[in-house]
């Protein structure tokens, strides 16, 4: 699989217990991870290495206790701290809550009827969500909040926004 086939969902945020469990901080929203068999962590060369899942327990909508095969001690778990965790595209679609902002990856953003581009990244901030798009070869951040978000069409994977006057000109000159 190519890098585009993997989606970053979060990171290993802590070690839990004496049997090598870790705490996964994720952006998938309210999900139970039922049946999750593997996830991926990049190695030093940038290759995605599969880690097989023994079990997952939900801690909150943003965190889960994760037990990985071959990680049996807290010391072994510590080696995974702060590592970014990735899912395959198919698993991402299966486990991302429809209400989680990250589920909007790949949606097309329109300002009224004008197509702006496809969401390449979701950046969650305390008071708003930003979508990273590429428009005319330039990176553009589009805010999604009560005032700018007009419609989300999950069937056709479209988002309609009303951008503040002058926002695109800041990025596109």
Query: Would you state the pLDDT for residue 63?
Result: 96
What b/e sequence results for 11-31 when a residue is b if at least 16 CB atoms lie within 10 Å of its CB, and e otherwise?
A: bbbebbeeebbbbbbbbbbeb
Provide the percentage of residues in the chain whose pLDDT is more than 90: 78
Instruction: Please give the biggest Cα pair distance in the chain.
Output: 55
Q: How far is CA 153 from the centre of its chain?
A: 19
Mean pLDDT in residue range 68-83: 96
Q: Which two tokens stand for residue 102?
A: 């990250």
Per-residue model confidence as pLDDT tens digits over 122-134: 998 888 899 999 9
Q: Which two tokens stand for residue 38?
A: 């593997």
pTM of the predicted model, to two decimals?
0.80
Per-residue model confidence as pLDDT tens digits over 99-116: 889 999 999 999 988 999
DSSP code for 77: H
In this structure, how many other beta carbons lie within 10 angstroms of the beta carbon of residue 33? 19
């Amino acid at each position: 699989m190519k890098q585009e086939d993997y989606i970053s969902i979060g990171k290993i945020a802590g070690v839990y217990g004496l049997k090598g469990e870790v705490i996964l901080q994720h952006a998938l929203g309210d999900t139970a991870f039922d049946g999750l068999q593997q996830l991926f962590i990049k190695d030093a060369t940038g290759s995605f290495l599969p880690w097989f899942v023994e079990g997952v327990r939900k801690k909150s909508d943003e965190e889960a206790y994760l037990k990985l095969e071959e990680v049996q001690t807290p010391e072994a778990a510590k080696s995974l701290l702060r590592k970014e965790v990735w899912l395959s595209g198919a698993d991402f679609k299966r486990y991302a809550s429809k209400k989680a902002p990250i589920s909007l990856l790949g949606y097309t953003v329109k300002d009224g009827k004008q197509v702006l581009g496809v969401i390449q990244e979701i950046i969650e901030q305390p008071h708003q969500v930003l979508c990273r798009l590429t428009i005319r070869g330039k990176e553009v951040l589009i805010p999604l909040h009560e005032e700018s978000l007009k419609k989300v069409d999950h069937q056709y994977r479209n988002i309609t926004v009303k951008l503040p006057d002058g926002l695109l000109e800041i990025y596109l000159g």
